[in-house]
């Protein structure tokens, strides 16, 4: 069970600036049995000598790492996304310790899901827009007088907790009859785009900025843990709202 659970976990490094951190992160992952590394818009050469030297036997993780130019591409098939961040941001998210996050991640993959853990840039971490993609934030409780934690060290902390959680997880019972599978990140992003269009079509914002409302609605639907059928139902409701808005506009002409 341990290897199967860990195989469904994805470590996503966003905008990494130093090749040594990629190598060190790969080594941290491999020591804990994790193998799915994803590099999103790295700002350094991912195959640099420094990356390979710091990997020390985990070069294969760098070689097989998924590369993505857009974060959404790296998360498309994930059912849960957690963002590692050292600072409170202007994005309201549930906040978990590494141990809490690891337990929830393993429970999610035991239920058939796929989980991504995001790590941001060495200097600035994850942006607010990137955190908007996350279901929760992970905060490592470092010394407040010296909270600076190296990227690869943060990956090691989370990898260790994930392995402990996987080892502690009991063998699941025979699978019961399951309902519809959870919606993937790509399906949720499609829903949010449709919601944005529908709110404009019915003139919900009345000339006001839609940013705050859309952020709150995004948080609402992420908390709801929608499944595929529920997403399709919501698409149908939004499509009907758009249709009624078009009919109303035609009657006014």
In the chain, CATH 3.40.1280.10 sits at 2-168
Whether domain 2-168 has CATH 3.40.1280.10: yes
Q: Which residues contact 134 (CB under 8 A, 6 or more apart)?
A: 81, 82, 83, 93, 118
Q: What pLDDT, on a 0 to 100 scale, did the predictor assign at position 108?
A: 94
What is the band of 244 on the pLDDT scale with cuts at 50, 70, 90?
Answer: very high
Q: How far apart are alpha carbons 74 and 108 in whole angstroms?
A: 18
Q: What is the DSSP annotation of the chain?
A: -HHHHHHTEEEEEES---HHHHHHHHHHHHHTT--EEEEES-SS-TT-HHHHHHHSS-HHHHHT-EEESSHHHHHTT-SEEEEE-SS--SS---EE-HHHHHHHHHHHHHTT--EEEEE-BTTTBS-HHHHTT-SEEE-----TTS----HHHHHHHHHHHHHHHHHHSPPPPSPPPP-SPBPPHHHHHHHHHHHHHHHHHTT-STTS-SHHHHHHHHHHHHHHT-BHHHHHHHHHHHHHHHHHHHHHHHHH-
Other residues' Cβ atoms within 10 Å of the Cβ of residue 65? 21
Three-state secondary structure readout of 13-39: EECCCCHHHHHHHHHHHHHCCCCEEEE
Q: What is the pLDDT of residues 165-223, one digit of tens each?
A: 999 885 555 555 567 899 999 999 999 999 999 999 999 999 888 999 999 999 999 99
Q: What is the CA radius of gyration of the chain?
A: 20
Whether domain 185-252 has CATH 3.40.50.261: no
Q: How far apart are alpha carbons 183 and 232 in whole angstroms?
A: 10
Q: What is the pLDDT of residues 29-53, one digit of tens each?
A: 999 999 999 999 998 987 778 898 9
Q: What is the pLDDT of residues 81-126, one digit of tens each?
A: 999 987 665 668 899 999 999 999 999 999 899 999 999 999 889 9
Q: What pLDDT, on a 0 to 100 scale, did the predictor assign at position 172?
A: 56
Q: What is the pLDDT of residues 142-166, one digit of tens each?
A: 998 887 789 999 999 999 999 999 9
Q: What is the pLDDT of residues 123-143, one digit of tens each?
A: 889 999 999 999 999 999 999
Q: How far apart are alpha carbons 164 and 116 in whole angstroms?
A: 17
Q: What pLDDT, on a 0 to 100 scale, did the predictor assign at position 89?
A: 59
In the chain, CATH 1.10.8.590 sits at 185-252
- Give me the mean pLDDT over the 226-242 stretch: 95
- Give me the mean pLDDT over the 57-62 stretch: 94
């Amino acid at each position: 069970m341990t290897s199967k659970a860990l195989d469904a976990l994805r470590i996503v490094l966003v905008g990494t600036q130093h090749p040594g951190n990629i190598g060190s992160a790969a080594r941290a992952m491999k020591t804990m049995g994790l193998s799915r590394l994803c590099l999103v818009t790295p700002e350094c050469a991912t195959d640099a000598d420094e990356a390979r030297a710091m990997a020390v036997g985990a070069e294969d993780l760098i070689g097989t790492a998924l590369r993505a130019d857009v974060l959404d591409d790296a998360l498309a098939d994930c059912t849960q996304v957690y963002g590692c961040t050292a600072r409170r941001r202007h994005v309201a998210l549930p906040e978990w310790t590494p141990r809490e996050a690891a337990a929830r991640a393993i429970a999610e993959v035991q239920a058939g899901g796929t989980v991504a853990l995001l790590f941001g840039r060495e200097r600035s971490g994850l942006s607010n827009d990137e955190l908007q993609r996350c279901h929760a934030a992970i905060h490592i409780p470092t010394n407040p007088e010296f909270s600076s934690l190296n990227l690869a060290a943060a990956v090691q902390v989370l990898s260790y907790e994930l392995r402990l959680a996987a080892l502690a997880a009991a063998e699941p019972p025979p699978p019961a009859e399951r309902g519809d599978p959870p919606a993937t990140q790509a399906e949720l992003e499609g829903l949010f785009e449709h919601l944005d269009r529908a709110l404009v079509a019915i003139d919900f914002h009345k000339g006001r900025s839609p940013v705050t409302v859309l952020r709150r609605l995004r948080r609402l639907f992420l908390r709801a843990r929608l499944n595929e059928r529920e997403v399709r139902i919501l698409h149908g409701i939004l499509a009907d709202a758009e249709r009624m808005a078009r009919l109303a506009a035609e009657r006014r002409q």
